[in-house]
Structure formats: C-alpha cells, structure tokens
Amino acid sequence: MIRTILVGIDTSAHSRNAQALAFNLARRFKATLHGLHVVDIVSIEGSFFHDISGSLGLEPYLDFSSKMREVLTERGRAVLDEFRAAAERENLTAETILDIGIVANQICERAKIADLVMIGHHGVNERFSTGLLGSTAESVARKSPRPVIISPREAREIRQLALAYDGSERAARAMRAAAEFSVEIGAPLAVATVARDPKLGERVLGEARAYLDGYGAKTSFELLAGHAHEEIIAFLKRIEADLLFIGAYGHRRIIEMVLGSTTEYVLRNSLCPVFLSR
C-alpha cells in the first residue's frame, strides 16, 4: 500500500505534470508527499566550467562554482516552497527536501524511505537531450529501490489502467501493484500479453485472470501477436490508457544495447505515465 510518495521537483513541464499526478494519487491513497529538489553538482562543478576558468586564466572564474551553488540553491528553495504551498491548497500533507549531488543518485537514495517515486520524463535540460528519455529518468528507472512512475509532458486523470504482463517475476509484481491501484481508485484494468505462441499466451493470460479474480477488480484481457514493444504501444493508444504498469528492466545494460529492451522502448514512446515495478 502506498503511504509515502517521493516526487522529484524541478521547473520543467514534465516535473509539473508528475507533481499534479502525485497530488492526485496522494489524495486517493491518503499518502504523504515528499518533494525533493536536487541541486545538480554536475552543473556546478562540471569539467566544462573548470576548463573555461583554466584556459582563460581569469580570476573571476575561480569563484564561479560557489556563486553558481548559491543561485541554484536559492532557486531550489523557491521551487520547493511552491510545491509545499500547492500541496497545502489541496489539503495534502507534504514535506520538502533540498539535496546537493548527482540528481539520479540522490533520488534513489531518498527513495529508500518512500513507497513510490514519481519523476518527469525529462528535466530542465530537455532541450539539450539527444534521446527521447532523459538521462536522469533512465538512471532512476534502472537503479531505484522502489517502484517508479515516469510521467510524460502531458497526462490526464487516471480512468483507465493497463498492464503489460509476460509471466515474469517483475511483471507479477507490476500486476500486484496494478490490482491494488485498480481497487483503490476504482479504475478498470486492461491486461495485455504478447506471445507468438497462442497456447503460451493463453496460459500466461490465464495466470493473470486467476490472480486478478481475487481482487474483484474490473478487468479485461487481450492476447497480442507481434513485436512486444510495438504491440504494447499500439495497445495503450487503442484503449486510451492513463497509466501503464510494466516490469522494470530485465537484462543487464550491455545485453540491452545489443538486443534492445521492451521496457526502454515503451518508456520512450508511451504517451501515458509508466509505472515500473521491481
């Protein structure tokens, strides 16, 4: 059960949407919110700025890091103050945390005291991103000790849940979380299994039916054939899903670089928030 939600806060549109979704879930689960803003030490002490000061040999640049830290820290406090005020307006219990460090590492460290982590698909440096998933979001998705919801730039009220289930242990944990969400917020859950072998697919769906029957949730089931990553995205669009539950990464990163990852493809292309279960 969700009692504490950790929300990564910055000034990006993705973060604001993650915050709105966190407020919605906190209200439904009666959970406490922890708003976390991390002053990125890479931005302060990155090699780029040190190279500038060293190559130019100008005295004013020697104090650049400390001034940058002050500016970013004050900005972080302002962002957290806005978060706290917004939570109070909605009668939600909220605490704020200001850290300095590597953003993804700090989020994962703070995640140890939360039941759920919520972050945006991209952060404030979205315009500089060369991929479709921010580096912080990808790192948190891989390393977080708790389930993570990654929110895109736009999302809506959660009315339709979806579960991508393949029978794996990670997918089973995602199914348990999806069942609890479905019952708690009263939203129907659509379950999809992708399998080239129909008999295998029906057996996997049968497992899901048997498990979910015990929750009494409103469910539907679909057996899909084709490439899993493409079929899942098409499924989400067809049912107009508002939140997808899926197992977290299942391979080591070097294997995924060669073979690809269904989870990563879905994260990059899903129009709705994605709940990653460990």
pLDDT digits 0-9 by tens, 10-43: 988 888 899 999 999 999 999 999 999 999 887 6
Residue 190 and residue 220 in contact, taking contact as beta carbons nearer than 8 Å? yes
pLDDT digits (tens, 9 = 90+) for 116-140: 999 998 655 444 344 445 688 888 9
State the chain's mean pLDDT as an integer.
85
Map out the domains of the chain with their CATH numbers. Answer: 4-151 (3.40.50.620), 161-277 (3.40.50.620)
Specify the pTM.
Answer: 0.85
